[in-house]
Chains A and B, each alone.
Chain A
């Protein structure tokens, strides 16, 4: 789960991670009021959307004086921000963060993430703050310092010091950076984060270390023990059909093609997308109906797939293990009967009770295109569109 920058900074602040003073606002008037409370004359106006690259897209502006806040806030609030992470449609800005200006000496990078190779969390730091860290990692990997965190004892001071000295910090900067890292670790650990990125981490001219930006994601599997964090979820930032699907316990990801897919299991769903592409088609989505596919999930799945107006045909690919294919077939027939479906539907059911399912589909008298295997299914659905 993803949250806004201002929410991330509130969480970090609660764990004593130094952040600039700032206030989230929903209107220009509120922005002006917020600026008055700030200790600096220079203020920063920041669009709050769930995507990176806001600065380049024109969503972050510096007000040289408090008088400039009004103009900048009205410019950014309500605009549609397009960045490399929003997709071509962009995202509408509904919230701003009004923050104090910072006297920046150095811009660094600090991040924490799960390293799958070692099955440990890793804290990473780099002198290349403000840059895209993926680019730094690809081009100059030696500029990323890493320490692995022993799960038994947590982040130790000496590892934080390794990073601080590695970044070339000196004097009181070192102590401040170490304190920052320990606090960030505590926030990450206590809230089951999956990623935390402070980019840039700034060192001020007076030697303070603070988070100029903050991005935090949470481990979805751990949200059951963080009710407070669940409340931070902003549904307006998510795809409405994906939100709808998650309510039904379905895993739906919208894509750009025109072949709607309904599959059980994430791996088979991805493989089905792949084979559609190999057959010359483009998948419109990934929809995993999971292990418990039944009449209800199949009907809901259809509803969600067909809510995408790009869908020109539907492919159902189920390999029944515990799921019985005859039940899935029953669900498909009922769904098609009860809904107005006017695109071709290709069905491939394999595994438990596949024969019974084939009989059901045939006897239904409906216009299903029955496929014998996964390759046949992909070819038939692509042919049905053309």
Chain B
């Protein structure tokens, strides 16, 4: 088993004809992911790679193909609209890869989807992969291995680093969720942890945070009260200076809040196995399993 992306997930790709969208759709299909439809307004009726039907709207795509999940590669000015379109169409899982969506747009999206029955992952994230089942996103599939460790991360390549360390030790993953590096995101650490808590096939979780905000502290508190499985944690940005935005829009220490030290202390207090070095993530999981 796995979370979010399972055997029953049928995917529509929004922005399938763009350069990013078409390249990654190809990669997703090579990994045997069930891509059943694409959406590019104005290109309805065409086919992607002569196999995947393209529609003008998500609603049509879902009605015609039974798609129940979307992955979005739409450029930033149109991405918020694309998320809301997918939510309105009733898709239960929406993964937005797009980087650089204005925060104001995401505040509106977040509000809009509150009463919709959907999981939004991202934006500005590598996506979700359930090894052996499929991938919705831009992560390199070949570094993954099917198994029982869940991975939740605010970062992209740092997630690959952690997964690489796991697979090198023959420790497979149930699902890896890149929740994204923006200030406003759909799925937060706690939402992902709840899913892994209920998933019998997930035996332990790797949680990779960053400086900025207080999501890691809140997750730590929740873990202490509710989480039944061992958690290994790492926080990137231990050496970051305050007031500087460290690449991700969300990665900034402001007003003394959001430091790595605070987050690591909160995680340790919650019984999480915190790695000081990013090189120790794989080793630490091996120890706790």
Which A residues are closer than 8 A to B by beta carbons? 85, 114, 116-117, 119-121, 133-134, 137-138, 150-152, 189, 192, 194, 219-222, 224-225, 251, 253, 255, 263-278, 283, 286, 288, 291, 319-322, 350-352, 373-375, 378
Q: Are B277 and A266 in contact (CB under 8 A)?
A: no
Please report the C-alpha to C-alpha distance between residue A31 and residue B39 in the assembled complex, in whole angstroms: 59
Please indicate the chain B residues that have their CB under 8 angstroms from the CB of A133 in the complex: 255
CB-nearest residue of chain A to B164: A350
Chain A nearest CB, measured from B196 CB (Å): 20
How would you classify the secondary structure of chain A's contact residues: helix, strand, loop or mixed? mixed
Indicate which residue in B250, B256, B279 contacts A138 across the interface (CB closer than 8 Å): B256
Known contacts A151-B107, A321-B160, A351-B160, A267 near B184 by CB under 8 Å: no
Please report the C-alpha to C-alpha distance between residue A286 and residue B248 in the assembled complex, in whole angstroms: 12
Please report the C-alpha to C-alpha distance between residue A137 and residue B258 in the assembled complex, in whole angstroms: 14
Please report the C-alpha to C-alpha distance between residue A7 and residue B77 in the assembled complex, in whole angstroms: 26
B36 within 8 A of A: no
Q: Mark B198-225, 1 if CB is under 8 A from A, else 0.
A: 0000000000101101110010000000
Starting from the known contacts A271-B278, A351-B160, 4 additional A-B residue pairs (CB-CB under 8 Å) come to A192-B102, A267-B153, A351-B143, A352-B142
Please report the C-alpha to C-alpha distance between residue A321 and residue B143 in the assembled complex, in whole angstroms: 9
Please report the C-alpha to C-alpha distance between residue A194 and residue B234 in the assembled complex, in whole angstroms: 28
Please report the C-alpha to C-alpha distance between residue A253 and residue B247 in the assembled complex, in whole angstroms: 9
Q: Are B239 and A274 in contact (CB under 8 A)?
A: yes
Q: Are A137 and B239 in contact (CB under 8 A)?
A: no
Q: Are B248 and A267 in contact (CB under 8 A)?
A: yes
Please report the C-alpha to C-alpha distance between residue A117 and residue B164 in the assembled complex, in whole angstroms: 31
Which B residues are closer than 8 A to A by beta carbons? 23, 76-77, 100-108, 110-111, 126, 138-140, 142-143, 153-161, 164, 181, 183-184, 208, 210-211, 213-215, 218, 234, 236-241, 243-244, 246-251, 255-256, 260, 276-279
Please report the C-alpha to C-alpha distance between residue A152 and residue B213 in the assembled complex, in whole angstroms: 24
Chain A nearest CB, measured from B238 CB (Å): 4
Q: Are A321 and B140 in contact (CB under 8 A)?
A: yes
Q: Are A275 and B278 in contact (CB under 8 A)?
A: yes
Please indicate the chain A residues that have their CB under 8 angstroms from the CB of B108 in the complex: 151
Please indicate the chain A residues that have their CB under 8 angstroms from the CB of B140 in the complex: 320-322, 351-352
Q: Are B256 and A134 in contact (CB under 8 A)?
A: yes
Return 24 A-B CB contacts under 8 Å, by A number: A116-B215, A116-B250, A117-B213, A120-B107, A150-B111, A192-B104, A253-B246, A265-B157, A265-B247, A266-B181, A266-B248, A267-B159, A270-B211, A270-B237, A271-B155, A271-B158, A273-B239, A273-B240, A274-B236, A274-B239, A276-B239, A321-B138, A373-B279, A374-B278
Please indicate the chain A residues that have their CB under 8 angstroms from the CB of B239 in the complex: 270, 273-274, 276-277, 283
Please indicate the chain A residues that have their CB under 8 angstroms from the CB of B154 in the complex: 267
Known contacts A270-B246, A288-B247, A322-B138, A264 near B102 by CB under 8 Å: no
Please indicate the chain A residues that have their CB under 8 angstroms from the CB of B101 in the complex: 221
Among all A-B residue pairs, the 9 with the closest Cβ atoms? A267-B155, A266-B247, A265-B157, A267-B158, A375-B279, A222-B102, A270-B236, A134-B255, A271-B278
Please report the C-alpha to C-alpha distance between residue A150 and residue B106 in the assembled complex, in whole angstroms: 13
Indicate which residue in A134, A220, A270, A274 contacts B277 across the interface (CB closer than 8 Å): A274
Please indicate the chain B residues that have their CB under 8 angstroms from the CB of A319 in the complex: 157, 160-161, 164
Chain B nearest CB, measured from A272 CB (Å): 8
Q: Are A121 and B107 in contact (CB under 8 A)?
A: yes
Indicate which residue in B103, B142, B215 contacts A194 across the interface (CB closer than 8 Å): B103
Q: Are B161 and A271 in contact (CB under 8 A)?
A: yes
Please indicate the chain A residues that have their CB under 8 angstroms from the CB of B218 in the complex: 117
Q: Are A116 and B214 in contact (CB under 8 A)?
A: yes
Residue of B126, B243, B247, B260 with most partner-chain A CB within 10 A = B247
Q: Are B236 and A221 in contact (CB under 8 A)?
A: no
Q: Are B139 and A321 in contact (CB under 8 A)?
A: yes
Q: Are A220 and B249 in contact (CB under 8 A)?
A: yes
Chain A nearest CB, measured from B107 CB (Å): 5
CB-nearest residue of chain B to A195: B254
Known contacts A116-B215, A274-B277, A319-B160, A267 near B107 by CB under 8 Å: no
CB-nearest residue of chain A to B105: A222
CB-nearest residue of chain A to B280: A375
Known contacts A253-B246, A351-B140, A114 near B164 by CB under 8 Å: no
Q: Are A351 and B237 in contact (CB under 8 A)?
A: no
Please indicate the chain B residues that have their CB under 8 angstroms from the CB of A268 in the complex: 155-158, 160-161, 236
Q: Are A267 and B277 in contact (CB under 8 A)?
A: no
Q: Are B157 and A321 in contact (CB under 8 A)?
A: yes
Indicate which residue in B102, B104, B276 contacts A278 across the interface (CB closer than 8 Å): B276
Known contacts A253-B246, A321-B140, A114 near B103 by CB under 8 Å: yes
Please report the C-alpha to C-alpha distance between residue A137 and residue B214 in the assembled complex, in whole angstroms: 15
Chain B nearest CB, measured from A37 CB (Å): 36
Q: Are B102 and A269 in contact (CB under 8 A)?
A: no
Residue of A269, A275, A378 with most partner-chain B CB within 10 A = A269
Please report the C-alpha to C-alpha distance between residue A120 and residue B107 in the assembled complex, in whole angstroms: 6
Please indicate the chain A residues that have their CB under 8 angstroms from the CB of B208 in the complex: 267
Please indicate the chain B residues that have their CB under 8 angstroms from the CB of A352 in the complex: 140, 142
Please report the C-alpha to C-alpha distance between residue A251 and residue B99 in the assembled complex, in whole angstroms: 14
Chain B nearest CB, measured from A104 CB (Å): 25
Please indicate the chain B residues that have their CB under 8 angstroms from the CB of A278 in the complex: 276-277
Residue of A85, A137, A265 with most partner-chain B CB within 10 A = A265
Please report the C-alpha to C-alpha distance between residue A137 and residue B254 in the assembled complex, in whole angstroms: 12
Q: Are B157 and A267 in contact (CB under 8 A)?
A: yes
Chain B nearest CB, measured from A267 CB (Å): 2
Q: Are A117 and B214 in contact (CB under 8 A)?
A: yes
